[in-house]
Amino acid sequence: EIVLTQSPGTLSLSPGERATLSCRASQSVASRRLAWYQQRPGQAPRLLIYGASTRAPGIPDRFSGSGSGTDFTLIISRLEPEDFGVYYCQQYGTSPSLTFGGGTKVEIK
C-alpha cells in the first residue's frame, strides 16, 4: 500500500505570499493518479488538481501542481484570504482504492 506523507504539517503565511506544499509517496505514483484537494473549515473537500498538474474546472490559475514519481508539489502563487484551510494530496490506486495524505494546514500568519 502506498503511503503519502505531506509536509509541512502547518504553513503560516500572510495573504499575497507564496505557499509550497509537498506530498511524498512511499512508492512511485503514476502522475495521472495524483490529485490535490482544498478543505475549508466545515466544508467538504474541493478538487483542485488532478493528473498531478491539471487544474480542475473553475480553479484559479494561482494554483499549480507539479511532480512525478514519488515527489509532488502544490504551489499557491499568491495567497488569497479564501485559500486558508487544509490541503490533501490523494493517490488513485489500481483496485481502485484511494490513499490520502495527512494534510497540510495553511493558516494566516
Residues of this chain that interact with another protein (CB under 8 A) are 32-35, 37, 39, 44-47, 49-51, 56-57, 88, 90, 92, 95-103
Q: How far is the CB of 14 from another protein (least distance, A)?
A: 25
Cβ closest to another protein, residue 39 vs residue 73? 39
Residues 24, 5: contact at Cβ < 8 Å? yes
**15 versus 75: smaller Cβ distance to another protein:** 75
Burial class (CB in 10 A: 0-12, 13-18, 19+), 106: buried
- Taking the C-alpha atoms of residue 107 and residue 68, their distance in angstroms, rounded to an integer, is 27
In the complex, the smallest distance separating the C-beta of residue 87 from another protein, rounded to whole angstroms, is: 11
Which helix (H) or strand (E) is 46 found in, with range? strand 46-50
Query: Which amino acid would we find at residue 6?
Result: Q
Nearer to another protein, 14 or 94 (CB): 94
Cell of 81: 484570504
Minimum CB distance to another protein, residue 2 (Å): 12
